[in-house]
Amino acid sequence: MIIKGGIVYDPANGIYGDEMDLFIDQGRMAMQAKGEEIDARGLLVMPGGVDAHSHIAGKKVNTGRIMRPDDARLGTEPRTAVCRPSTGYTVPNCYAMGYRYARMGYTTAFEAATPILEARHTHEELEEIPIIDKGALTLFGNNWQVMECVRDKDLTKLAAYVAWGLRAARGYGVKIVNPGGGEAWGFGGNVKSQNDIVPNFDVTPAEIIVGLAKANEMLNLPHSIHLHFNNLGKPGNYTTAIETLDLLKDIKPSRMRQVVHVAHMQFSAYGGTSWRDFESKASVIADYFNCHNHATMDMGQLLFGSATTMTADAPLEYGNARLTHNKWSNHDIELEESSGVVPMTYFRKMLVNAVQWAIGLELALLVKDPWKVLMTTDHPNGSPFVNYPEVITLLMSKPKRDAEMATLHEQVPKRTTLAGIERELDWTDIAIMTRAAPARVLGLDDKGHLGPGADGDVSIYNLRPLEVDTSLDHVLVKKALANAKYTIKGGVVVSKEGQILATPPGRTFWVDAAVPQVDTDRLMIDLEEKFAKYYSIQIANYAVQDAYLPHAKVIRAGLLIEPLPEVA
Amino acid sequence: MSEAIMIKDAVCSFCGCLCDDINVEVEDGKIQRVRHACRLGSSKIMGHARIESPMIRKNGVLVAVSFQEAYDKAAKILLAAAKPLLYGWASTSCEAAKKGILLAEEVGGVLDSTATVCHGPSVIGIEEKGLPGATLGQVKNRADTIVFWGCNPAEAHPRHSLRYSSNSCGKFTQEGREGRKIIVVDVRETRTSKNADKFIRISPGSDYEVISALRMLVAGKGDSVLDEVGGVLKADLADIAATLKAAKFGAVFFGLGITHSRGRYKNIDNALSLVAELNSHSKFVIMPMRGHYNVGGIGQVLAWSSGYPMSVDFTRGGPYFNPGETSACDLLARRDVDAALIIAADAVSNFPRATAKALAGIPVIQIDPYENPTTLLSDVVIPCAIAGVEVEGTAYRMDGLALRLRKMVDSSFPSDEDILMGILESVHKQRQMTANEGA
Amino acid sequence: MRTITITPKKAFRISVEAENISPDKFASLNIEQIKSLTVWQGNRKIMLSDLFTVEGDDAPAKAEETTIRLAGDFFQVKRIGEGMTAGVVEVQGSIGMHAGNNMLGGLLSIAGNADDWLAREMRGGKVVVMGNAGNYVGGGYRGEKCGMRGGEIEVKGSAGAYLGEHLCGGSIRIGGDAGDFAGAANQGGTIFIGGSTYLPGAEMSKGTITVKGEAKVLPSFLKTEIVEVDGQAFQKYAGDLVDSGKGELLVGMGSS
């Protein structure tokens, strides 16, 4: 395939809006190729979009669907000759997930939180999502085995467990959500700071985070730890964020990447002592990121309207449900995690929501280096991912932000700095925040860029970057971003002007990290005891079988240098 | 004689407990012994006399035919129907469910599961309030207070108590039954109530009122509650409320006794609120006691495929869901379907009589390993291999946990998946032929 | 006034979905165009004229100047008058499920009975049923917070269960009895029941429910005063207190 004459943004390869031809051969970017020609003359061309943090598959996503038929009916599209039917807005069915990402020009999305015990379910859903490549991060932050290794300061055993857990879950990386809080929630409690003692386990959240970060680097994993802070969603939590980040600043990364990726930073950049004096501390957080290089974040942008909050932070969800008087699902996972789901509507005239909206934008605009900030809405917590064009245009247009702000609660300019921010992002920034940076943050070498050998994932938009004024013509830009002129996945045109043309299955990435057998042997003694006494299933039935990943892409990592035996 | 093979830690495919510690002894391709399973599970795994051949009803009599003939006939029936019902799915794998959903989309039918006659009201309740739940291991490790409401696991889920609930031992519950308070609420004494510390016998159909009274008592607003509610003295209810509030970790398990008594989904709706409110005082979870081993699985697969967990109408191409309208029983009661495919469920035995009778008036396709009352009024009968014994696949436990079913022995029968794909291929073929004739 | 009469050509075994039968949909169309509107019978997408005869004034007219007369039995025909904003739908016999759902204005008048979900999620206009109505009159869709938000429903006969579930506004008047759980989760609407009901007002937070006949009242309602309405004494209750509700329930104490 040859893509002719596009205005290409491929920041990972130092290409910032150059007119050039692109070639795809056998599904990969190449120096030369034959075949189908796509006319992209003068149009915006970028690598396929990469979403590093989205809730797209697994028990809590399906729980959201089951408790929200009111949401499912909003997105109904009938079956066609090419497509299975679609439903849902904040909690779309699997097919809609694939089609809607593809229509926007996205070709990769990662599920942000899966307990090992329920990973089989996650993979059943991932496999059913068409077109896009995907992976799932694995939850470790409230896991008994993790906490015991941390308590015993047995880092090699902890690393062996992380490797074992990732293999059992067919997981991609280490996710930590409100560490210790999920365990405390087992008896209805929570932790209030990173220095609290986790009941019954004699460790602190800080120790869990540092331990897992060290294990992560010991295992040389492609992705860093991926952290949802303690106290998320609470007024005044920015201090928790900064103190926690400071714990990690001296850890050496094993690869050319961050040591910690902060999930949906917006929800952890809050000042004030209560919802009454609630205010943005985005500028303080942004300063920290501007002065340090060990952390990256994704926005977790909130938009007005309907959302479904879902997180492994179960006590947070109970609070949400009590506060909003909305329906509440909770799901504790024995020995590992807890989680919750609560539908939510965000209102322009509600001060807290309006400030939250501003904080996400402030973060993205105040952090100078776009490689440190990924564009997300923490789908579907802040807003469903179909609204990414809205977020992108807000970042690119000060007039649009001003017009929006005029419709919000009048206190927003006093409680945030957004009104004074002149910065408007350009296509290079956007290509970084939606493509290059998420791929680099995740450690996906073949994603997020268009160099030879990269995956043949390209998005072409009905926009002329050399002509369009993104600041003034934001309506046009938003419309063009919603439905790419072409989305090409692995060299196949999967979507054209909003119409799905092909639905190839996507691959699922997972990380197989090798550890010395002696550490695994020590670990297995612990695990066998846990399964004999505490788990409700046998160890033999625990790990995800390969049958659930017919399109697996295994990435090797770990402590050993010698080649590893193939995974069956 | 070949050596006996021992299959260890297999999953029992009888009830929603999905016990996964079953050892099965296989010799000469036959299951000889089943260990660790309960009587019900063991008899399921051992099996009994099977339907031997595919059959089509000709002149009122079921006549043996080839599988292909049966697939073609089934496809023909489905294609001719304006509103075919594809019903059952509770006793087969998720892999079969996926194929069934595809078939329902292709032929423009309504797909519903046996949930419609068991925990359908629970699903509607969850749509109102959400489900505060947990995996069963969480209950085993932590619960010091357990309520069984309108269910009788001692009979229906025999290993539930020892593996997951009243009599299980875990990290914070090492004393097992001794350390727990067990409360049973039901309209009659049961084997489960005999193991209880407190049995609350309520008048039939009074579940909703009793739960409302408990909600008032838990909230400290008991003053206005009458002296007797649902046949229970206020003092007894106050006692229960105090016990629930004092729990370190409480769990409510509920069954058809509450979902199918007067109040239906409102009972569950109210119970979900009670549990949500209890979390302001202690930690509490609630979950339905699912009967058929994979009735949870069809709900999960259907939800991620269509957006809805049961009763999905695909007739207009886009999924539509409205139990009471699109549910199997209601459609049949209104005679609003013109063909039915019944798989992995015995509709005739499980449906109310009038509903079952409606099946007699339309063409029926049955896919099942065993003859049952549904066979008697079926026009096409297709015997299948038994999922979870002869075919591997996925099932979801009553707490939503996915487990891999093992294949223990070979079968000469095609799997449910194979059969559904055979019918689907025949649908494509016949549709193509019609299109060619038209052209 | 333009009048269009629609008559089924035969009895329907499989129910028909006909959301296109509505004054708004007909307004800009002549008879031939109305005849070719889509209806569904199961998975068969067909034209209105395949199943019904359509007669009346040919010239298009505004919705508010349109009367649709449904002659014959429409009990197997669903979604009639869906989302209508004006005009009249006059049903001479009985009507199927979801009649007048999402209705915003106009009049839906039914001489016979109405099936379940009559005027589901209604926002305005008026619905009158001379016979009985099924379950979920003025109710909501599964999982939604609000059912009917505005408008007026009158049923001369009796109504089924879950009358006005999740009612957020408007008023419903039932001449006869109502089934179980009338006015459940009422958030501000008004319900009057001429006969009896069972467990009215469960989880209501606002609004008023008046039951002229008998009612089993939940233990979470607090007896307050006795009031007189139109010469009849009513016991007043406050509730539903499970959720600190501020609703009013009035139950008749027998004619005085």
User: What interface predicted TM-score (ipTM) does this complex get?
Assistant: 0.97
What's the pLDDT score for residue B350?
87
Cβ neighbourhood burial of B410 (10 Å; 0-12, 13-18, 19+): exposed
Q: Which of C:104-143 have CB within 8 Å of B?
A: 116-117, 135-136, 141-143
B45 vs B24: CA distance, rounded Å: 9
Query: Scanning every residue of chain A, which has its alpha carbon at the shortest distance from the alpha carbon of C243?
Result: A325
Amino acid at B189: E
Minimum CA–CA partner of B109 in chain C: C43
Q: What's the residue count for chain C?
A: 256
* Alpha-carbon dihedral sign for residues A511, A517, A523, A527: positive
The β-bridge partners of C40 are: C17, C45
Structure tokens at A305: 């309207």
Identify whether residues B66 and B9 lie together within a single domain.
no
pLDDT tens figures, B183-211: 999 999 999 999 999 999 999 999 999 99
Q: How far is A77 from chain B (nearest CA, A)?
A: 6
Chain A nearest CA to C204, separation (Å):
14
Omega before A380 within 30 of 0, i.e. cis: yes
Closest CA to B106 of A88, A93, A84, C46: A84
Q: Would you call C220 and B224 a contact, using CB atoms and an 8 Å cutoff?
A: yes
CA–CA dist B33, B48 (Å, integer): 14
Q: Name the residue among A66, A120, A537 with its Cβ closest to that of B309.
A: A66
Cβ separation C220–B266 shorter than 8 A: no
3 state DSSP class of A113 = strand
From B378's Cα to the closest Cα of chain A, the distance in A is 30
Determine, for residues C219 and B225 on separate chains, whether the beta-carbon distance falls below 8 Å. Answer: yes
CB atoms within 10 A of CB A349: 11
B111 & B132 share domain: no
Is residue A408 within 8 Å of residue A357, measured between CB atoms?
yes
Nearest partner of C193 among C180, C206, C204, C205, judged by Cα: C180
The 10 Å Cβ neighbour count of residue C256 is: 8
Residues of B in contact with A535 (CB under 8 A): 137
Task: Report residues of chain B scoring pLDDT below 50.
Answer: none
pLDDT of residue A560: 63
Q: How far apart are the CA of A334 and the nearest CA of chain C, in angstroms?
A: 29
Distance from CA of B346 to the nearest CA of A (A): 26
Q: Which two tokens stand for residue B31?
A: 């299951």
Query: What is residue B355's predicted lDDT score, i.e. its pLDDT?
Result: 86
Question: What are the boundaries of each domain within chain C?
Answer: 2-255
CA distance B273 to C240: 13
Report chain A residues whose CB lies below 8 A from the CB of B404.
120, 541, 545, 547
Residues B326 and B277 in one domain: no
CA–CA distance, B71 with B89 (Å, rounded to integer) = 18
Cross-chain CB nearest to B322 (options C41, C142, C221): C142
**How far is C139 from chain A, CA to nearest CA, in Å?**
13
Task: Map residue B314 onto helix, strand or coil.
Answer: coil
Secondary structure (H, E, C), A485-553: CEEEECCEEEEECCEECCCCECCEEEEEEECCHHHHHHHHHHHHHHHHHCCCCCHHHCCCCHHHCCCEE
Nearest chain C residue to B322 by CA distance is C142
Last residue of a domain, one of B288, B313, B347: B288
d(CA C238, CA C206) in angstroms, rounded, equals 10
The structure tokens listed for A393 are: 């245009």
**Tokens at B327, concatenated:** 């549910």
Compute how many other C-beta atoms are within 10 angstroms of the C-beta atom of residue B404: 22
Residues B283 and B297 grouped into a single domain:
no
Best CA proximity match to C138, nearest among C113, C89, C174, C176: C174
Inter-chain contacts counted by CB atoms under 8 A, chains B and C: 93
Q: Kindly state whether C142 is in contact with chain A, defined as any CB-CB distance less than 8 angstroms.
A: yes
**Subunits with 3+ C-beta pairs closer than 8 A to C:** A, B
pTM of the model: 0.97
| Nearest CB to B303; choose among A66, A95, A541 | A66
Residue in this structure with the two tokens 């294990």, named with its chain if needed? A215
Number of A–B residue contacts, CB under 8 Å: 196
Residue among B87, B85, B134 nearest B108 (CA): B85
Query: How many domains, in total, are found in chain B?
Result: 3
Which of B105, B322, B331, B337 to substitute to test the interface with C, most C CBs within 10 Å? B322
Give, for A399, the enclosing helix (H) or strand (E). helix A398-405
Per-residue pLDDT of chain C (256 residues; tens, 9 = 90+): 999 999 999 999 999 999 999 999 999 999 999 999 999 999 999 999 999 999 999 999 999 999 999 999 999 999 999 999 999 999 999 999 999 999 999 999 999 999 999 999 999 999 999 999 999 999 999 999 999 999 999 999 999 999 999 999 999 999 999 999 999 999 999 999 999 999 999 999 999 999 999 999 999 999 999 999 989 999 999 999 998 889 999 999 974 4
Per-residue pLDDT of chain A (568 residues; tens, 9 = 90+): 999 999 999 999 999 999 999 999 999 999 999 999 999 999 999 999 999 999 999 999 999 999 999 999 999 999 999 999 999 999 999 999 999 999 999 999 999 999 999 999 999 999 999 999 999 999 999 999 999 999 999 999 999 999 999 999 999 999 999 999 999 999 999 999 999 999 999 999 999 999 999 999 999 999 999 999 999 999 999 999 999 999 999 999 999 999 999 999 999 999 999 999 999 999 999 999 999 999 999 999 999 999 999 999 999 999 999 999 999 999 999 999 999 999 999 999 999 999 999 999 999 999 999 999 999 999 999 999 999 999 999 999 999 999 999 999 999 999 999 999 999 999 999 999 999 999 999 999 999 999 999 999 999 999 999 999 999 999 999 999 999 999 999 999 999 999 999 999 999 999 999 999 999 999 999 999 999 999 999 999 999 999 999 999 999 999 864 544 544 4
| Contact: B138, A328; criterion CB under 8 Å | no
pLDDT at B1: 53
Tell me if chain B has a CB within 8 Å of the CB of C40: yes
**Do B161 and B199 belong together in one domain?**
yes
Q: Give the whole-angstrom CA distance, residue C256 versus residue C253.
A: 8
> Is the domain of B304 the same as that of B319?
yes
- Secondary structure of residue C16 in the 3-state scheme: strand
Side-chain-side CA neighbours of A160 within 13 Å: the count stands at 19
- Quote the CA–CA distance of A243 and B243 in Å, as a whole number: 41
Subunits adjacent to chain A (3 or more Cβ pairs under 8 Å): B, C
Residues B336 and B386 placed together within one structural domain of the fold: yes
Interface test with C, best of A63, A66, A70 (most C CBs within 10 A): A70
Tally of CB atoms within 10 A around B59? 5
Q: For the segment A533-545, what is each residue's pLDDT rounded down to a tens digit?
A: 999 999 999 999 9
Peptide bond into B72 cis (omega under 30): no
Same domain, B152 and B189: yes
Question: Are B158 and B91 in the same domain?
Answer: no
Verify that B214 and B299 share a domain, yes or no: no
**Residue B133 vs residues A200, A284, C35, C148, C208: alpha-carbon distances, Å:** 22, 38, 52, 31, 35
Q: Report the candidate in A449, A401, A415 with the shortest Cα–Cα distance to residue A107.
A: A449
Instruction: Tell me C143's DSSP state.
Output: T
Predicted pLDDT of residue B2: 66
Q: Which of B288, B310, B336 is the last residue of a domain?
A: B288
| Cβ contact A318–B279 (<8 Å) | yes
Instruction: Please report the pLDDT score of residue B99 as a whole number.
Output: 98
Residue in B closest to C146 by C-alpha: B128
Are residues B92 and B235 located together in one domain of the fold? no
Does residue B100 sit in the same domain as residue B70? yes
Surface of B (49-108) touching A: CB under 8 A: 94, 98, 105
Chain A partners within 8 Å of C143 (Cβ): 67-71
Final residue of a structural domain among B271, B288, B305: B288
Interface of B with C in 253-272 (CB under 8 A): 262-263, 266, 270
- Per the structure, the complete domain to which residue B372 belongs is given by 48-118+293-438
| Measured CA distances, A149 to A156, A180, A520, B379 (Å) | 9, 14, 13, 62
